[in-house]
Chains A and B, each alone.
Chain A
Amino acid sequence: MLTAGLAWPSTALADETTARQPKVNLVLDVSGSMRARDIDGQSRMAAAKQAFNEVLDATPEDVQLGIRTLGANYPGDDQKRGCRDTAQLYPVGPLDRTEAKAAVATLVPTGWTPIGPALLKAADDLDGGTGSKRIVLISDGEDTCAPLDPCEVAREIAAKGIGLTIDTLGLVPNTRMRQQLSCIAEATGGTYTSVEHTDELTDRVNQLVDRAADPVVTPVATEGGTECAEAPTLESGLYTDREEFGQERWYRVDVRPGQELRASVSVSADREVSPGYGVLLRAVTVHGREIVRGEAAGHGRTDVISTGLRYPKPETDDEDAPAEAVCLKVTTSFSPAPGVKTTPGLPLELTLDVVDGPSDADDVAAFGLGRGWWLLGALILAGFLAGLLWGWVSRWRIAVWRTN
């Protein structure tokens, strides 16, 4: 009984730690084209295997790693069957290096390149837990399973899960492949890398796995209202939301007198958008009066457009003064490039900080201090004149005294 009582909290603690562990799913293309021998004189498959072995050795202890393949099992010509061909080679969980390596060794380049379906399944593999989640896709060809656009799949996945990033690596890529893989990466805030050599592949995958292990603040999902009255009331923290083109999002924050509200908002361009764009963040009272705004506009290639604002609420003598509900309104002026799907909305990140103490005038300049040669000159002149006056007054007083 006693042992059970002692053991229970530690298990709970372990569960909690496991839940927060970062998860990485390596998705490897095992399609027929991986047979091509153009990476450092060896086949793409051999290069990938070598890189995987090194990555598995270097994976940090607290990372839960899984491996999924695409196109590994069906060698036939039927597109329907070929496009379902994705399998979990090693389940996401605590890593057993020997087992994982043995599993990788069995791979033989075989079938199609169903990137979209593989990404969907890979996202399912990562389900659960609160840690950061990362999919690393290694492919040597573009998706062969139209009409399902892997880029849109990636966007859907990013919209579903919080903190899921897809990084892509293209082995000996051509132009279309570059476009497709970088589109997948940008849809989720990930990165795209072209790989021509084995060591590049190893280094990059290692870097990505390490990046997953870095602790980051996980944002909280929220959904802004369409007007201030319906807006959710938020506290200090980091939030994410989705905002469709042309939509406005409202949030509410309570600010007590003597506190300062700091809000910043970033809207990511996770798909192709027109080159001119902007974001506007307004803080308005519940009656609709604008207090302060932050605005930003940009042009050209970008991952994100962001702005912020600060609202110090003056202190009052009344101790029981109620908190003021400040409404934050976010609008953007992104417009989608022709032919780009507009749902789900663009990812929005909102940082809220309500800090104590408004800004007040208590620095040196406010003490009445000055600087510069003009100040010295003025002081010397004033002192000299005062001295003259004093001397003249005392002289006059002596003269008066003498006549009396």
Chain B
Amino acid sequence: MSRLIDVENLTLQFDTDEGRITAVDNVSFSLEAGEVMGLVGESGSGKSVTAKSLMKLNPRNAVYGPDTRITLHLDEGPVDVMSLQTDREMKIVRGGSISLIFQEPMASFAPAISIGDQMVEQLLIHTNYSKPQAKEVSIEMLDRVGISDPRTRFGQYAFELSGGMRQRAMIAMALSTKPKLLIADEPTTALDVTIQAQVIDLMKDLVSEFGMGIIFITHDLGVIAQTADKVAVMYLGRLVEQGTVRDVIRRPAHPYTRGLLAALPTLDDIGAPLTPIPGDIPSPLERPSGCVYHTRCQEVIGPRCAAQVPAFLKVDADHAAACHIYDPAGDSE
């Protein structure tokens, strides 16, 4: 496998009326081609903002940290994403080599333009296809994602399609430019379980067929277990745990990941009481000091948790967590 993207020290803040809010705090990860990374976290954890940063798709009040480096490795050579300025330069990360699938397909298709015209439009922007070629490629893609009668669907509008169909069309559109990296932001959350299972299968097939990397953002650990090779867990803008899907789900190292797994209702222990994580996610305006999770953590080991940001430490070969319990000597520092 070859390296696809490197994210180093990604920090992102937003200037708001109520002050500067930290949305992402010093997040680093990398992804190989053909690899699926699950990005897990609750609402407000910064997972969507992190993914959108890779396309520099954040509003004008976003301020990137000075040490932020995002490098996209393409066949033509590395691209320094942070240095891209004009719309023209950013085409490469916005639909060119990176595609994005949103959660709500109804909101991400323009309602008054047919599905087909939207697919053709982006192909004309990002590829050298002629209009008739772009139409054929689009219809082929619609067929590939399991949409029956793709020629008719091509001329239809988003409202004429069911939720599952719209999400398939969204996937077809995102993949028709043959991106190297696909960012899927909660792509199955708005779907019924039966349709979710179909869409997950489809995405797995496409990864192996096209060999692209996928960042799969979700709050559903079950979906992660079924799709991802590796997992990154976020809480309040920080990466708290990273590792292979088996390690993170079977031997969660961070107390937050453990809490998430314990809170999850599963069919194996019907009737067993659920264990919530105590308290609420703090507002980003009142970020806790030290470890951001210490206000809800049930494994706090001392005053250090509220005072000192824990380092990201290896707990196993491919498994790391940011928690003081893995740094017993840390007190002396």
**A, B from the same assembly:** no
**Chain B positions near chain A (C-beta within 8 angstroms):** none
